[in-house]
Amino acid sequence: MNVEFPDKLAFLFKPARYKCAYGGRGSGKSWGFARALLLEGAQKPLRVLCTREVQKSLADSVHKLLSDQIEAMGLSRFYEVQQTVIRGKNGTEFTFAGLQSHTVDSIKSYEGVDRVWVEEAHAVSKTSWNVLLPTIRKPGSEIWVTFNPQLDTDETYVRFVKSPPPDCISILMNYTDNPWFPDVLEAERVHAENTMKPEEYGHIWEGRCMPAVEGAIYFDEVAGAESKGRIREVPYDPLLKVHGVWDLGWNDSMSIILVQRSASEIRVIDYIEDSHRTLSDYAQDLKAKGLNWGNQYLPHDGYTKDFKTGKSAQEILAAMGLTVPGDTQNPGIPRMDIESGIKAAREVFPRIYFDKDKTGRLVECLKRYRRHINQQTREPGQPLHDAYSHGADAFRYLALVADQLSNDEWGGAIRYQKLSYA
């Protein structure tokens, strides 16, 4: 057979434990991976598992793509396309499954596969990778991965692009690498280039990571912080007060933002997020840092006595030697509805610097903070309450107290020093 492939996919025919292609729309990477696997399966018997994070039905899989390529390459006499499986006359078999539905025990049935193709791999979780990879252990077995990256912190991007494992070939592949890129897609691409935000165009067509997930509440604000270099090293200044802004939680995460203010600049120098720990534990951790402490700002529920201890969060932290302003009538963090708080956060965002190493989790929360989408109307509603909302709530609280952050107790003239951009 004389089957054409983009030059960039030549590596698919060389042995490697991991073969990864990532990039934007129209690159031909999925098309090429399907063809390469079908050709390999025609040359020798292979067990091929085609998978993704979630597969609710076969329509979610690459079954149709493989079927179309079988027809296009004239392999219909060799491969029998069945409803849930594709079989070759030599014993080659393509099966389809979602990773999220499997456990360590249930996935053991795939120990003997020769090839695993993970499509739309940007959505595959760390848990799923940790279950899948040790299971694929047959000598000569390979894991093939295709995806359009979303965030540079996504597990798949970190695992195969930022820090690839040994014996891994990982390439960026875009429409410019596809010799057969069709005119209809070129017209769509040009229109997108002229009408889309640069970040969205770069993600869809050039395989760039997004500054935040699609539909993120603070998408533009995070994009601005990244483009203007405000996610960077932010050193602690011992001559400025360090304030803590708290979102209280027990089963849900406790989130604490540590922040300093210099003139109009708001410097987020550290971030703590944990659960199932006492307030005393957090207070001890803060004091152990030996920082020049200012105030600890709590939301309204921090002034309500807990029925188990008979004390409020304010009382417990004050007993540990921390300064907690406010009372039940006037809490340290003013009461404000969520939407007004989000508006305040957007207004404050351009003044905020994030330490890239110590506040990475907080930035991740802001990148992934989204609204609930009504499945019938597709209209956005209230912000989602999920693993990322606690950090986002604490950030919203920070915006509400930003102009209260003071260095007045320093004991001398307030010193303001701009961050160096060197």
**Is 21:161 a contact under the CB 8 Å cutoff?**
no
Cα 64 from chain centroid (whole Å): 29
Mean per-residue pLDDT, 275-297 = 95
326 — phi, psi (to 5°)?
A: 100, 175
Nearest-CA neighbor of 384 among 373, 393, 396, 372?
372
Question: Higher model confidence: residue 165 or residue 308?
Answer: 165
Q: H helices within 107-250, ranges in order? A: 126-132, 155-157, 183-195, 198-206, 219-227
Question: Considering only 196-200, 269-273, 410-414, which range has the smallest mean pLDDT?
Answer: 410-414
Identify how many contiguous H helices and E strands the chain contains and give both numbers: 12, 16
User: Does residue 181 have a pLDDT over 50?
Assistant: yes
Nearest-CA neighbor of 251 among 358, 147, 385, 117?
385
Structure tokens at 282: 């957090």
User: Does residue 419 have a pLDDT over 70?
Assistant: no
Instruction: Compute the radius of gyration of the chain from its Cα atoms.
Output: 26
Distance CA 54, CA 123 (A): 9
Distance CA 237, CA 34 (A): 55
Q: Where are the domains of the chain?
A: 7-177, 231-410
Nearest-CA neighbor of 275 among 182, 358, 391?
391
pLDDT in tens, 104-123: 677 777 889 999 999 999 99
Query: What count of other Cβ atoms lies within 10 Å of the Cβ of residue 252?
Result: 14
Question: Considering only 108-112, 118-122, 191-195, 256-260, which range has the smallest mean pLDDT?
Answer: 108-112
Instruction: Quickly name the fold that domain 231-410 has.
Output: Nucleotidyltransferase; domain 5 (3.30.420)
pLDDT in tens, 19-40: 999 999 999 999 999 999 999 9
Assign domain 7-177 to a CATH class.
Answer: alpha beta
For 157-176, b/e burial (b = at least 16 CB within 10 A) is: bebbbeeeeeebbbebbbbe
Query: What count of other Cβ atoms lies within 10 Å of the Cβ of residue 355?
Result: 21
Mean per-residue pLDDT, 61-69 = 93
* pTM for the model: 0.81
Query: What count of other Cβ atoms lies within 10 Å of the Cβ of residue 233?
Result: 11
Nearest-CA neighbor of 371 among 351, 392, 352?
392
Q: For residue 60, how many C-alpha atoms fall within 13 Å in the half-sphere facing its CB?
A: 13
Q: What is the pLDDT of residue 1?
A: 65
Q: What is the pLDDT of residue 273?
A: 96
By CB neighbour count within 10 A (0-12 exposed, 13-18 middle, 19+ buried), where does 231 fall?
buried
Q: What is the pLDDT of residue 308?
A: 73
Bridge partners of 49? 95, 116
Mean per-residue pLDDT, 296-306 = 92
pLDDT in tens, 394-417: 999 999 999 999 998 643 334 444
